[in-house]
Structure 1
């Protein structure tokens, strides 16, 4: 999913249409707060019926992402460049993400 990404990438899991809308808005807000240094990808649960507009999206139609990462609702992940999870938050919020990213990216 993140192969080929050169910037930090925020993974946002949405498990219904309401969390899809919030995740799409959060992706834009984080990009703006980090001056484009952080991108986003959406991971959409099988219950999401809306169309994903904005950041790239992958459908977790078999629930593998949810099962492997023990996701129970809207959740955000910020993987480090070495592949380990640098931050996990449920539900994801912009102020907490921005504070963490400010320290990491020195912005």
Structure 2
């Protein structure tokens, strides 16, 4: 078992993303986001699943969905978010993700 320290938070976030993607049969988009930061998930459509996971006192949301736009209003990087699926990154800061169906 991996030692749970902040040193491996990015690995945890990427692992949560991969697990959700493969458990969803590689047929849906996935977003993992640090819930203590600002974000906008209001435009996600066809949400198949949502849950939270915790790592070293930080709670992350995990969405599995069909399509829509997700905006990260906080810090980027794998310490705070990860996503997989079919998408384009937009905006000057590349923190707006437009997902579409596979």
- TM surpasses 0.5: no
Larger helix fraction of residues: 1
- Structure scoring higher RCO (CA < 8 A, sep ≥ 6) equals 2
The two structures have a TM-score, normalised by structure 1, of: 0.35
Larger strand fraction of residues: 2
The two structures have a TM-score, normalised by structure 2, of: 0.36
